[in-house]
Structure 1
């Protein structure tokens, strides 16, 4: 969900999430996931709050956000299309399909179509190696992807 809240509301909700989860062992990743679930991305305003509450530097928190491909620094489109970029999918035509998806959407990886409909993201293994290439649209996996299936997924996401 993409929520645009005033900075004070983001800070307040971030504090509540951190308060709920900071007792976990290794709480940073679960906190970041919960924040992204709440806002649709990890707002910049959340970083200093998380850092302060977990006694980490902002750089440490930012490093985790930017290291893991699942975390977004900006809101995603209404639909998220993830294409597997792992070796098995690449060996079965994944590169060609990735280029086709980029052409169909008119965007590159980590970008959103100008109408806000679709965000295209790489993902490094969906666990469907024996059925590659694969993709995920809004959390639903699709195996044995070919150009016809890819075009249908893009059309579905553009609606």
Structure 2
């Protein structure tokens, strides 16, 4: 399957001048990550070195080399959100999920990532959950949100 996703991304954007980012986004959109085997294939197809492709993948925070959890939670760590309590929420999330920012919970439910401004400062603190913006977070609201992510559906019913 990853081979097909790499082929499709290369076919769609590999011909574009400077198409590396588009190709990598295409792979990440299809697979949720850019697997290590994609580096060499993309480099060869675009006449780049493996180091050039790896450098782009490792530089941009939107690219990861491992699959994310079932949910991706990005907590804003910028100044406005910090002033409204995001650091306490960050600590609570790490304790609750048992993982640090940049990691995935042991059960594979949540990948926890920092983000530095979501443009939702008036409703701070904020987060993105699977691309959906949520603001005015409190400890209680965050607990309910995490409960919905890590508790199997049959236990919630």
Any idea what the Cα deviations from partners look like across 1:105-132, whole Å, max 9, x if unmatched?
Answer: 1111111111111111111221212221
Residue of structure 2 equivalent to 1:36: 28
Residue 25 (structure 1) shift = 4.1
Answering whether residue 63 of structure 2 is matched by residue 78 of structure 1, we say no
Any idea what the Cα deviations from partners look like across 1:51-84, whole Å, max 9, x if unmatched?
Answer: 1111221111111111111111101111111111
Residue 31 (structure 1) shift = 1.3
Residue of structure 2 equivalent to 1:69: 61
Residue 12 (structure 1) shift = 4.5
Counterpart selection for 1:54 from 46, 61, 67: 46
RMSD: 1.5
Residue of structure 1 equivalent to 2:115: 123
CA–CA separation in structure 1 for the residues paired with 2:122 and 2:49: 41
TM-score normalised to structure 2 length:
0.88
Counterpart selection for 2:137 from 120, 139, 145: 145
Residue of structure 2 equivalent to 1:94: 86
Q: Secondary structure at the match of 1:113?
A: coil
Which runs of 5 or more residues in structure 2 are unaligned?
Answer: 152-157
Which runs of 5 or more residues in structure 1 are unaligned?
Answer: none
TM-score normalised to structure 1 length:
0.87
Contact (CA 8 Å) 2:124, 2:135: kept in 1 or not? yes
